[in-house]
Amino acid sequence: MSSDSHCAEPGFAFAGNLLERLSEHRGDAAWLRGHLEDRAARFVVFCGEKAVATAHDPVTVLHTRARADRLGFIADEVILLGFERDSQSPVFAVSTPATDERLEADYGLTTIDVRTLALQGALSQHVLGILAQARALSHWHQTHRFCSRCGVESVMSQGGYRRDCPACGGLHFPRTDPVAIMLITDGDGCCLMGRPPRLPEGVFSTLAGFIEPGETVEDAVRREVFEESGIVVGRVEYLASQPWPFPASLMLGCRGEALSHEIVMDATELDACRWFSREEVRAMLAGKHPDGLKVPPPLSIAHWLIASWAKGGA
C-alpha cells in the first residue's frame, strides 16, 4: 500500500464526503424517525437519475424538510446518508415523482446530472461526496426493488442500507463495483494511455476495467492492460481511490510498471493506444499539445494519476 503522500489532492471529485454515518444505529426505527423530523435535516432529492437543484446562484442540492415535503416523497423510502460533523444535522436522500416542468414552474428548481454538477465546480468537495453516496444508493433502490431469490417486492430497511424480502426472508445489500484504473509507465519516462470509443476525439486516458470475482487488484491491472494493449505489467502499486457514482463504482487508482513495450491494441475496446512522453503529457495538461490532444478533466482519478506522474510526483 502507498504512503500518505499518495493521498488524493484537493479537487478530487466525489472523494470528500465528511458525513458521520453512525451505521450502528440504522436498525433503530424510532431513532431514524426522530432524526427525520429534525428541523435542521437536509435532503438530497432525486428526480429519476438527476439531482434536484436550485436554478439560481448559489446552487444547492441540500434542501429543507419543508421543500422535500412540497416535492413529495415516500416516508418508507428515505435513505439516511449521515450527519454533518459540526452541527450533527442529519442528511437524507429521497426521490420525488414531480416532473421537470413542475419543478421549474412551481418551485423554481431544476434537475441536473451529478457529473455535470461536478464539472461545473459550483459545489464543495464535501457536497459532491454526499451526492456520490446518495446517487449510488438511490440508483440501487430504484433498480433492485424485487427479491432476487423469489421475485416478491422487498422493503427498505436499515436506513436504506438493506432491502428485506417479506416472503422468503432474503436480505439484500447495496453493491459497489470495484474498478482498477491504472497508469502504466516504462523505464524511458513514458506512460501508456488509450482512447475508448466513449471518449471525445483527441482525449486520451488511463486504461481501466472491472475487477472480476476471485481477482486481486494487482492481477486485474495486469489482465486489463494486457487484454487492451498487449503490454505485460510487472510491479503494481495502489495509490488512491475515488467513488464514481455512475452508477456505483469504486475506482482503485494504481501505477504499474511495463515489462514490454510493443502495443497490440484490442480494437474492440480502444480506438487508439500509444506511449506518451512526460513532456507531451505536460503539454496535454496545459492545453498546448500541437495536435490538440487532451486528458480527462480534473474531476476524475484518471486526471490525477496522469497529472501526478507528469509533475514527477506520486
The answer on 118 and 57 residing in a single domain is yes
The answer on 136 and 188 residing in a single domain is no
pLDDT in tens, 111-167: 999 999 999 999 999 999 999 999 999 999 999 999 999 999 999 999 999 999 999
The answer on 110 and 232 residing in a single domain is no
The answer on pLDDT for 23 being more than 80 is yes
Q: Is residue 183 part of a domain?
A: yes
Distance CA 308, CA 249 (A): 22
Specify the CATH number for the domain of residue 258.
Answer: 3.90.79.10
Q: Is residue 2 part of a domain?
A: no
Distance CA 160, CA 137 (A): 8
What pLDDT is stored for residue 2 in this prediction? 38
The answer on 114 and 44 residing in a single domain is yes
Distance CA 80, CA 22 (A): 10
Q: Which three cell numbers stand for residue 96?
A: 420525488
The answer on 185 and 164 residing in a single domain is no
Q: Is residue 193 part of a domain?
A: yes
The answer on 171 and 111 residing in a single domain is no
pLDDT in tens, 180-234: 999 999 988 999 999 999 999 999 999 999 999 999 999 999 999 999 999 999 9
Q: Is residue 15 part of a domain?
A: no
The answer on 201 and 159 residing in a single domain is no
Q: Is residue 9 part of a domain?
A: no
The answer on 121 and 57 residing in a single domain is yes
Q: Is the pTM above the cut of 0.85? A: yes
Sign of the Cα pseudo-torsion (155, 160, 163, 164, in order): negative
The answer on 229 and 125 residing in a single domain is no
The answer on 283 and 195 residing in a single domain is yes
Q: Is residue 7 part of a domain?
A: no
* Alpha helices (H) in the chain, listed in sequence order: 29-36, 65-71, 100-107, 114-120, 125-143, 217-229, 278-285, 301-310
Which of 143, 165, 200 is where one domain is finished?
Answer: 143
| Helix, strand or coil, per DSSP, at residue 52 | strand
Q: Is residue 3 part of a domain?
A: no
The answer on pLDDT for 268 being more than 70 is yes
| Helix, strand or coil, per DSSP, at residue 191 | strand
How many domains does the chain fold into?
Answer: 3
Q: Cα 36–41–42 angle (5° rounding)?
A: 115
Q: Is residue 32 part of a domain?
A: yes
The answer on 160 and 282 residing in a single domain is no
pLDDT in tens, 78-105: 999 999 999 999 999 999 999 888 898 8
End-to-end CA gap in the chain: 13
The answer on 104 and 195 residing in a single domain is no
pLDDT in tens, 28-39: 999 999 999 999
Residue 152, domain extent = 146-175
Place of cell 424480502: 165
What pLDDT is stored for residue 76 in this prediction? 84
